[in-house]
C-alpha cells in the first residue's frame, strides 16, 4: 500500500493515531420456517424491535442536537415506514421468522432504491444501518459500530451511519476515514459540526491493517500510512500554526485590506446557536427549518410551536442578520403529508418551493410564524425559498411573503443552474440570492451528493460550478443586491477567498469552519482573491483549480 493515500478532506484538522475498524455488518439471519400459529408472536416481535430502534435513533438525535437530530429523526421515520412494516408482516405470515422477514423486506426495498437513480441510491447506507439495528435487536446481539477503546484512535469504515457519527466522542475518536461518502454527505456535515478531522471517498481505506499508525489531514484529504517521525513532526507543526492563526483572528470577516465579508453560520435549529455565537458568527446565513417538521410526518407543526423555535434563534443575534430557509421538503427529506410517495425521481420532481406552492397553507403558516417571531426583536430577518427555478417561482414566493404580512427581505436560493443563468431575471422579484452549492453541484453535474463514486463531480472547485457562482454574483452586483453562499463550499478557507474574489458578498458555513475562514481571509487582499478566482475559473478540472488558486494566494 502506498505511504500516502488521497481522498476528499471534509473536516479541517490533523489526527495522528492507530487505525481501528468499524464493526462488521450484522450476519444474515438463517432462513428458518415457522409454524402458522407462531406468526402473531413473530409479528409482534418485529413491531417491538422497529419501535425500539426508532426510539433509540430519536434519543440519539436529542443527545446530539442540531443537524444530527434532523438526520437521525429522518432515519427513525425510515424504520417506521408503514409499507416496509407491512411487507415484514406479510413475510412472517407465510413462514419467515421476524429477523429473516426484516432482512428480506429491507433487501427488496434496498434493491428498489439502488436501481431508482443515484439520488435515491444515496439513501441505501442509511437504510442498511436501520436494517442492521432491527436485526441485531431481534437476534439479541450487540449492534456493530464504533469500537470500544480506552485509547484514542482513528476510525476506519466503509461508511459511517449518521447514528454513529452523531455521537462520536472527540476525546477518543481523533478522526475518521471512510471509503464511501462525499463532501456533502451526512457524515461529512456532521464531522464538521463535531470538529473531527475527516477524509471520505478514500479507495482502499478498508485495507489498512488494524493498529496501523496513520496521520489524517482533513484539510488536504491526505492519509499518511506509518508516517515517519519527521512527517509526524511536520504535520504537528503545521497543525499548531493553524491553531495559532485561528486564535489570532477575531472580529467581523474581512480581507487584509478591509473588504468586508460577513461570516455567517448554518444552523439546523436552536441547539446549534450556542456554537455559532461562540465561533463569532455575525448572524445566520442558513436557518434550516426542516427540524420542526420531522417530529410528525403526518402534519405540520402548529404556528405556536414554530414561533417559539424561530424566536429562540432570532433572539441570539440582536442587530444581526438571520436568513431563514422555508421548508425544503421532498427528495431525501420526504414528509408523508406533503410529498408524493410514487415519484419516479423525487430529486427532479416536486420538492422545495414546488412542494410549498402545491400546499400553500403550509407556506402561509410558516411565514406567519416567522412574522410573529420577529415582532419586537432588533434583528434583520430575511426569508428565502429553496429550489427556485425561474422568475415565476421567485414571484410566487415574494407574493406569498407579502400576503402573509412578513416585514423582511425575500430571497431565492440558487440551487438549479437555470436560476444562476437567469439570475438578473430572478432578482426582479426578490432582494437577494443565496447559493446552495451542494445542490447546485448535484444538478449541474447530475451527481448525487451522497454517492462516493461521483464525488469528483461534487467537488465545489469544479470550474463550471465557479462559473455559475460568478454569473449569480455579477447579476446581483448589477442589480445592486446581495449574493451569499450558504453551501458547504464556503467552509473551505481557500475556496472562501475565491468566492470572495468572484463577488460573493457573504459566506455561511458550519460553526466549526468559521475560525479557519476568518483567519485565511484576513491574510489576503481583495485583489489577491480576485486573481485566485480568475485562475481557478481558467482551470480545466477541480484539482487544477484548487492548485491554481492556492498558488496565487501563496504568492508563487
186 is catalytic: yes
Chain centroid to CA 108: how far? 27
Of 134-143, 284-293, 377-386, the range with the lowest mean pLDDT is 134-143
Give me the pLDDT at residue 359, please: 93
- Tens-digit pLDDT profile for residues 282-313: 999 999 998 888 766 678 889 999 999 999 99
Residue 295's CB: how many other CB atoms inside 10 A? Answer: 11
Mean of per-residue pLDDT scores for the chain: 88
* Alpha carbons 104 and 30: distance in angstroms, whole number: 11
Q: Is 511 exposed, middle or buried (0-12, 13-18, 19+ CB in 10 A)?
A: buried
Catalytic option among 186, 401, 483, 497: 186
Q: Which residue has the higher pLDDT, 110 or 360?
A: 360
- Tens-digit pLDDT profile for residues 93-117: 999 999 999 999 988 887 776 554 4
Catalytic option among 12, 359, 401, 486: 486
Instruction: Report which of 373, 378, 380 is spatially closest to residue 308, judged by C-alpha positions.
Output: 373
* Alpha carbons 343 and 350: distance in angstroms, whole number: 8
Query: What is the sign of the dihedral through the CA atoms of 9, 11, 17 and 23?
Result: negative
Three-class secondary structure assignment of 9-46: EEECCEEEEEEEECCCCCCCCCCCECCHHHHHHHHHHH
Q: What is the DSSP string of 125-165?
A: HHHHHHHHHHHHHHHT-PPP-SPP-SS-EEEEES---HHHH
Q: Which three cell numbers stand for residue 39?
A: 406468526
Q: Which three cell numbers stand for residue 172?
A: 477518543
Phi then psi for residue 555, to 5 deg, are: 80, 15
Chain centroid to CA 541: how far? 24
Query: If pLDDT is split at 50, 70 and 90, which confidence band does 186 have?
Result: low
524 is catalytic: no
Instruction: Report which of 471, 507, 15, 70 is spatially closest to residue 265, judged by C-alpha positions.
Output: 507
CB 275 within 8 A of CB 512: yes
Phi then psi for residue 178, to 5 deg, are: -130, 150
Query: If pLDDT is split at 50, 70 and 90, which confidence band does 220 have?
Result: confident
Q: Is 326 exposed, middle or buried (0-12, 13-18, 19+ CB in 10 A)?
A: buried
Strands 173-178 and 153-157: what pairing? parallel
- Answer whether residue 1 shows pLDDT above 70: no
Query: 78-83 long-range CB contacts below 8 Å, 24 or more apart?
Result: 78/123, 78/126, 78/127, 78/130, 79/50, 79/53, 79/54, 79/130, 79/133, 79/134, 80/50, 80/51, 80/54, 83/341
pTM of the model: 0.69
Q: Which three cell numbers stand for residue 236?
A: 504537528
Amino acid at each position: 500500500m502506498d505511504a500516502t493515500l488521497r481522498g476528499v478532506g471534509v473536516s479541517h484538522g490533523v489526527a495522528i493515531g492507530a487505525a481501528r475498524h468499524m464493526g462488521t455488518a450484522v450476519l444474515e439471519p438463517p432462513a428458518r420456517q415457522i409454524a402458522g400459529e407462531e406468526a402473531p408472536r413473530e409479528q409482534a416481535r418485529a413491531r417491538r424491535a422497529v419501535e425500539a430502534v426508532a426510539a433509540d435513533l430519536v434519543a440519539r438525535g436529542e443527545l446530539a442536537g442540531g443537524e444530527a437530530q434532523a438526520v437521525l429523526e429522518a432515519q427513525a421515520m425510515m424504520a417506521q415506514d408503514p409499507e416496509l412494516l407491512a411487507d415484514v408482516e406479510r413475510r412472517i405470515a407465510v413462514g419467515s421468522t421476524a429477523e429473516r422477514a426484516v432482512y428480506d423486506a429491507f433487501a427488496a426495498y434496498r434493491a428498489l432504491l439502488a436501481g431508482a437513480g443515484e439520488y435515491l441510491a444515496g439513501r441505501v447506507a442509511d437504510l442498511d444501518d436501520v436494517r442492521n439495528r432491527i436485526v441485531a435487536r431481534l437476534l439479541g446481539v450487540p449492534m456493530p459500530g464504533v469500537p470500544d477503546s480506552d485509547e484514542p484512535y482513528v476510525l476506519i469504515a466503509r461508511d459511517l451511519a449518521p447514528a454513529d457519527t452523531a455521537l462520536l466522542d472527540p476525546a477518543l475518536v481523533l478522526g475518521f476515514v471512510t471509503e464511501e461518502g462525499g463532501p456533502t454527505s451526512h457524515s461529512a456535515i456532521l464531522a464538521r459540526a463535531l470538529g473531527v478531522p475527516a477524509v471520505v471517498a478514500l479507495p482502499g481505506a478498508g485495507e489498512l491493517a488494524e493498529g496501523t499508525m496513520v496521520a489524517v489531514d482533513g484539510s488536504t484529504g491526505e492519509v499518511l500510512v506509518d508516517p515517519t517521525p519527521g512527517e509526524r513532526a511536520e504535520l504537528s507543526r503545521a497543525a499548531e500554526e493553524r491553531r495559532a492563526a485561528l486564535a489570532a483572528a477575531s472580529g467581523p470577516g474581512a480581507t487584509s485590506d478591509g473588504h468586508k465579508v460577513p461570516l455567517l453560520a448554518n444552523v439546523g435549529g436552536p441547539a446549534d446557536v450556542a456554537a455559532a455565537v461562540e465561533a463569532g458568527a455575525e448572524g445566520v446565513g442558513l436557518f434550516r427549518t426542516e427540524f420542526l417538521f420531522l417530529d410528525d410526518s403526518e402534519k405540520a407543526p402548529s404556528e405556536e410551536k414554530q414561533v417559539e423555535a424561530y424566536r429562540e434563534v432570532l433572539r441570539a443575534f440582536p442587530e444581526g442578520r438571520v436568513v431563514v430557509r422555508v421548508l425544503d421538503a421532498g427528495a431525501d427529506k420526504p414528509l408523508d403529508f406533503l410529498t408524493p410517495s410514487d415519484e419516479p425521481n423525487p430529486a427532479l420532481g416536486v420538492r422545495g418551493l414546488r412542494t410549498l406552492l402545491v400546499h400553500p397553507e403550509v407556506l402561509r403558516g410558516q411565514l406567519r410564524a416567522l412574522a410573529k417571531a420577529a415582532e419586537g426583536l432588533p434583528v434583520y430577518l430575511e426569508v428565502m425559498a429553496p429550489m427556485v427555478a425561474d422568475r415565476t417561482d421567485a414571484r410566487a414566493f415574494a407574493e406569498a411573503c407579502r400576503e402573509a404580512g412578513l416585514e423582511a427581505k425575500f430571497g431565492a436560493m440558487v440551487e438549479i443552474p437555470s436560476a444562476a443563468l437567469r439570475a438578473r431575471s430572478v432578482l426582479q422579484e426578490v432582494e437577494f440570492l443565496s447559493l446552495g452549492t451542494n445542490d447546485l453541484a448535484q444538478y449541474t453535474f447530475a451527481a448525487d451528493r451522497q454517492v462516493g463514486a461521483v464525488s469528483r463531480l461534487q467537488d465545489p472547485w469544479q470550474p463550471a460550478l465557479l462559473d455559475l457562482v460568478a454569473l449569480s454574483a455579477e447579476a446581483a452586483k448589477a442589480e445592486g443586491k446581495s449574493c451569499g453562499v450558504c453551501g458547504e463550499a464556503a467552509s473551505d478557507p481557500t475556496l472562501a477567498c475565491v468566492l470572495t474574489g468572484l463577488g460573493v458578498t457573504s459566506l455561511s458555513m458550519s460553526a466549526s469552519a468559521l475560525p479557519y475562514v476568518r483567519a485565511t481571509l484576513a491574510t489576503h487582499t481583495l485583489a489577491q482573491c480576485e486573481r485566485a478566482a480568475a485562475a481557478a475559473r481558467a482551470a480545466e478540472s477541480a484539482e487544477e483549480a484548487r492548485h491554481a488558486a492556492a498558488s496565487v494566494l501563496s504568492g508563487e
